[in-house]
Chains A and B, each alone.
Chain A
């Protein structure tokens, strides 16, 4: 089997419009969550989120492109440009024919849906823009990445709610690992921060009105974010031969399904995915120094996830660090695992552990080292990234320092 390394990363999210700014914000424990700004926000009871700010689509795309790119596609392309430019890859000939793009996404073009429903239902119009369908389809982002970069290999979108990006990256890893292709572009994106998107989440009554405080006893729900995270997964020999800079090694993954409940998480399902990722990566429990938690800040997730980690790691659970960066960038739903993988890269490459900010009170049911409020320097060889989705679909990735 081939070794798989990461040779490029890109992002745009509430913490920054690129990877260096995002990592800097994570180091500083900065919060990207604030008052939401969009039409009809006054009709919502949940009015906070991790919105991408200071962003003008017209600075990045021309009029024709914007007619086809929903916000989630725009974010994806911005992140893909950063990742692929860092990797220094140009796709042509045999490489273009084999390389593809597998992305995670849950909601598709929610802003496009929202605007067009409003136009036909509320404004009573009987005509919509001709590109509504190609703009809102979940695979639009993956398709536009394939077109912009000439990726002609296996390309598709994975949709498993909050685990979408991790499932997508696991799939891309598997393709490179198994020798199907030397390079895959992967990650994910989401942009549900519009009236209809937040209204739908509001209905479930799991959102916080005042902040995301994962693992803290006074947590009261999740806060949504938006953005994208994109990576270049490359076969090690291919990267080495062209002298590419390697950020980290993807060591393995596992997926599991709870087969139990449509919204409540399961300790067993989470444990099986964590254990499976370690087995796939041929790692020992004690190798793991950091876990980027799913850590949504809901009552149910954080205690179930803590119990699963305690269960799998036993005594080592008290020696590893686990943090939820959702406290800073919010929950990007289908794009969340991708942005969170950046924190894992920072842990194994730079020896900096991103904190769980907003942490105020110990919860005995989440009594792990959650790296409260301030980033920490630590020598970490292996990091895991957890994602446990609604619908009970779990995916955990294992990242290793490249040596």
Chain B
């Protein structure tokens, strides 16, 4: 099975309509052209993929511990949630 990182990149790439090789760890969602709706959709896809619950409220993205500032921070957040929720 591919790594968490590769699976997250796959989801983000699909949302951004890009090839996974174009999504780097330091890309921001903005760089990739993912807007607020795209973000909410990506989080849903991530929750479904890993069977986890991501504490994210679109009104206060900074209030949850889930850091969406880059692909790397998203991957790190998901790794943490998987550990906590498994």
Cα distance A264–B35 when bound, in Å?
10
Task: Judge whether B44 and A263 touch: CB under 8 Å.
Answer: no
A225 to B46, CA, bound (A): 30
Which of B44, B56, B58, B59 lies in contact with A219, CB distance below 8 A?
B59
Chain B positions within 8 Å of A, measured between CB atoms, are 36-37, 40, 43-44, 53, 56-60, 63
**How many cross-chain pairs have Cβ atoms below 8 Å apart between A and B?**
36
Beyond the given A205-B58, A300-B59, please list 9 additional residue pairs across the A-B interface where CB-CB is below 8 A: A45-B53, A203-B40, A208-B57, A220-B59, A220-B60, A263-B36, A264-B37, A298-B58, A299-B60
How many Å from the CB of B62 to the closest CB on chain A? 10
Known pairs A262-B37, A263-B37, A264-B36; A208 contacts B59 (CB<8 A): yes
A203 surroundings in chain B (CB, below 8 A): 40, 44
**Contact in complex: B36, A221 (CB < 8 Å):** no
Report the interface size class on chain A: 10 to 19
Taking CB atoms and an 8 Å cut-off, the chain A residues in 185-239 that contact chain B are 203-209, 219-221
Q: Which of A275-328 contact B (CB under 8 A)?
A: 298-300
Please classify the interface of chain A as helix (H, G, I), strand (E, B), loop, or mixed, using the class held by over half of its residues: loop
Q: How far is the CB of B49 from chain A (nearest CB, A)?
A: 16
A contact set with B: CB distance below 8 Å: 45, 203-209, 219-221, 262-264, 298-300
Which of B36, B43, B59 has the most chain A CB atoms closer than 10 A to its own CB? B59
Please, which residue of chain A has its CB at the minimum distance from the CB of B37? A263
Contacts of B36 in A (CB 8 A): 263-264
**A221 near B37 (CB under 8 angstroms)?**
no
Q: Is the CB of A204 within 8 A of B58?
A: yes
Interface centre among B36, B56, B57, B63 (most CB of A within 10 A): B57
Complex formed: what's the CA distance from A306 to B40 in Å? 25
Q: How far is the CA of A206 from the CA of B60 in the complex (A)?
A: 9
Residues of B with C-beta under 8 A to A220:
57, 59-60, 63
